[in-house]
Amino acid sequence: MEKVKISSSLSKRASEMLKRFEPTQKNVKNLTSQLEPFIPHHIHETKVCIPAKLTLWPSQIAKLTIILCILAFITWTIYIRYFHLSRIPGPFWAAYTRLWLSKTLASGESAKVFVDINKRYGPLARIGPNNLITDDPEVARSILAARSHYTRGPWFDSIRIDPHVANIVSERHTGKHNHLRHQMRAGYTGKEIEGTEQVIDARIADFMNRISSKWLSTPHQPTNFDIGQRIQFLALDVITHLCFGAPLGFMTQDRDVSDFVRTIEQQLPIVQHFSVFLEFNWLLKNLTRISLIKRLLLPRNTDTTGIGKIMGITQSVAGARFKPGAVQKKDMMGSFIKHGLSASEVEAEISISLVAGSDTTATSMRATLLAIITNPIAYSKLRAEISQGIRNGAISEPITDAESRKMPYLQACILEGLRRFPPITQLRERIVPPEGDMIHGYEIPGGTYIGLNAWGLQLNPVFGEDAHVFRPERWLEADPAQLAAMMRVWELIFGHGNTKCLGQGIAFMVLNKIFVELFRRFDISIVDPHRPWKSTCYGIFFQKDFFVRVSRSGIGSI
């Protein structure tokens, strides 16, 4: 009872005192002296400090925040440098910040930079605080294997056209991705496309006619033209014809229809930052839940240019195909619908097919063409093979896919062109499984991202000491065991396991035909051997100013 009385008395007296005093420093001392008999000894030191601390609270919070930030930075730096992935070599700043990787990807030179990184630091190198890159083919095969415990990382979210809709390229869930591949396999391989080879023949014929009528040089009137841009138009007309049943007319109009190519070239450098600073993908996905922001930031099917225009065309064609009783065409879209894709899925898949399929096919054609015409030995041998095939009746007009596969030097040129210039350089990062992994003697913790060095893989010693040189003969000189070892690495250009490119067959059919049809008609020379083109890399390649001079050929002139 005595403790209760004292407590009650203290409370009443304190209330009276507080009413009569303002909480200034002087009044605080007076108040404290009057309350002191009632304050227990063990909190005696606290009684004066409470009001004083309240007056300093904002500055103390600021100081404490700064101190905590400094401590956090120091802790993070020590952890990153001396613990997490610290044993794995790489560029100094890459260990501390993602800015190094972001800058590299947006430089337009990332393919060459990554080759230098693995050459300098070894087959496993550190390119970010939580990012590694490898140019070891066996590590790549293990990561990409069908039964691998590695999963697709958040890097793949950055290549969605709509952040809310996954496509076959960006889908991270293994089961869903495999299901999409099953639904789309027949369309991508051309098995359910009516007259796939005839479609390709028709578009290549348009290309040849265009050269003959507009850009043919004569001894008295030389004509230079950018064949790189026109090859891009050819690839787009092939892909759109296979997708929609008719080409969009890039070649016949000789222009970038709806600014499609220009839009891709503007957006892909930005996408590189999203592939590193993954928070941007989360932010974009949530911001675009607001309809106004979505209309401002994302392509729409009502746009008059760019990807949105292609989406609009796709939606229009798909809308007619999804009507009750509609007869399906035997094209890529018809195959997708036949195998159960919804209208929105068809729109997403066709759009990504045009971006990924046309650029990679165009890059393969351009890079191989440049390698051939700037290598006199290879150029001479290929022309001789074409000439002999025409004389022997082994080459039809146009050449068939089956005939081209029987031309050993042509096939060697295509294999070597792709090896020296893989058309896809995206890191395609996978996540190390929770249990971690052991790679090249390094313990890799779960959750680490490992990317693939596409160009570095194709410079593997299995190709010889001159792996950096375009030399088709290596494919003809190798014994069966060596050839098998080379092909095992070369095949990684198109992925591996459940990520292997479904459109590889169609791309090869185009490559098998285009060089024979070009060289049977024309002699092609580069205008400026010292600066043959302008090539920049943003996961895929943009190649322009590829100026050539074309004249009538002496072999099989038509």
Give the pLDDT confidence of 110-148 residue by residue, as tens digits: 999 999 999 999 999 999 999 999 999 999 999 999 999
Return the closest-CA partner of residue 556 out of 366, 384, 381. 384
Q: Per-residue pLDDT for 44 more than 50?
A: no
Task: For residue 442, list its beta bridge partners.
Answer: 439
Q: Per-residue pLDDT for 558 more than 60?
A: no
Sorting pLDDT into bands at 50, 70 and 90, what band is 6? very low
User: Are the CB atoms for 490 and 458 separated by under 8 Å?
Assistant: yes
Angle, helices 504-519 vs 196-210, to 10°: value is 40
Q: What is the pLDDT of the chain when averaged over all its residues? A: 89
The alpha helices in 174-226, defined as continuous H runs, are 174-189, 196-210
Q: Per-residue pLDDT for 23 more than 80?
A: no
- DSSP characters over 296-352: HHS--TT-SSHHHHHHHHHHHHHHHHTSTTPPPPSSHHHHHHHTT--HHHHHHHHHH
Q: State the pairing for strand pair 449-452/131-134.
A: parallel
Fill in the DSSP letter of residue 523. E
Q: What is the C-alpha to C-alpha distance for residues 441 and 457, in angstroms, rounded to an integer?
A: 19
Sorting pLDDT into bands at 50, 70 and 90, what band is 328? confident
pLDDT average, residue stretch 225-232? 97
- At 310 the pLDDT is 86
User: What are the backbone dihedrals phi and psi of residue 270, each rounded to the nearest 5 degrees, phi first?
Assistant: -70, -40
pLDDT average, residue stretch 316-324? 89
pTM score of the predicted model? 0.86
- DSSP characters over 27-43: HHHHHHHHHGGGS-GGG
Q: What is the C-alpha to C-alpha distance for residues 48 and 33, in angstroms, rounded to an integer?
A: 10
Q: Per-residue pLDDT for 17 more than 70?
A: no
- At 63 the pLDDT is 80
Question: What percentage of the chain has pLDDT greater than the value 90?
Answer: 76
Q: Per-residue pLDDT for 441 more than 90?
A: yes
At position 224, the amino acid (one-letter code) is N
pLDDT average, residue stretch 344-367? 92
Q: Per-residue pLDDT for 276 more than 50?
A: yes
- At 451 the pLDDT is 98
Sorting pLDDT into bands at 50, 70 and 90, what band is 555? confident
Q: What is the C-alpha to C-alpha distance for residues 244 and 71, in angstroms, rounded to an integer?
A: 59
Q: Per-residue pLDDT for 21 more than 80?
A: no
- At 5 the pLDDT is 45
- At 84 the pLDDT is 82
Q: Is 243 annotated as a binding residue?
A: no
C-alpha distance from residue 127 to each of 117, 201, 248, 533, 550 (Å): 8, 44, 41, 29, 44
Sheet containing strand 547-552, edge to edge, reads: 224-226, 547-552, 522-526
Question: What percentage of the chain has pLDDT greater than the value 70?
Answer: 89
Q: What is the C-alpha to C-alpha distance for residues 68 and 241, in angstroms, rounded to an integer?
A: 60
Q: State the pairing for strand pair 534-537/151-152.
A: unpaired
Name the one residue in this structure whose structure tokens are 């390094």: 442
Q: What is the C-alpha to C-alpha distance for residues 109 and 536, in angstroms, rounded to an integer?
A: 6
- At 167 the pLDDT is 94
Could you tell me which residue, 554 or 389, shows the higher pLDDT?
A: 389
Q: Which two tokens stand for residue 306?
A: 């760019």
- At 355 the pLDDT is 86
What residues contact residue 165 under an 8 Å CB cut-off, 6+ apart? 344, 345, 348
- At 3 the pLDDT is 42
Specify the domain boundaries for CATH 1.10.630.10 within the chain: 144-552
User: Are the CB atoms for 498 and 177 separated by under 8 Å?
Assistant: yes
Q: What is the pLDDT of residues 181-217, one digit of tens each?
A: 999 999 999 999 999 999 999 999 999 999 999 999 9
Number of helices and strands (H, E) in the chain? 23, 12
Return the closest-CA partner of residue 411 out of 498, 508, 336, 492. 508
> Phi-psi region for residue 121, left (φ > 0), alpha (ψ -120 to 50) or beta?
alpha
Instruction: Please name the fold of domain 144-552.
Output: Cytochrome p450 (1.10.630)
Return the closest-CA partner of residue 285 out of 181, 182, 162. 162
Biggest alpha carbon–alpha carbon distance for the chain: 122
User: What are the backbone dihedrals phi and psi of residue 281, each rounded to the nearest 5 degrees, phi first?
Assistant: -65, -40
pLDDT average, residue stretch 6-18? 47
Q: Per-residue pLDDT for 224 more than 90?
A: yes
453: enclosing H helix or E strand: none
Q: Which two tokens stand for residue 211?
A: 């050269």
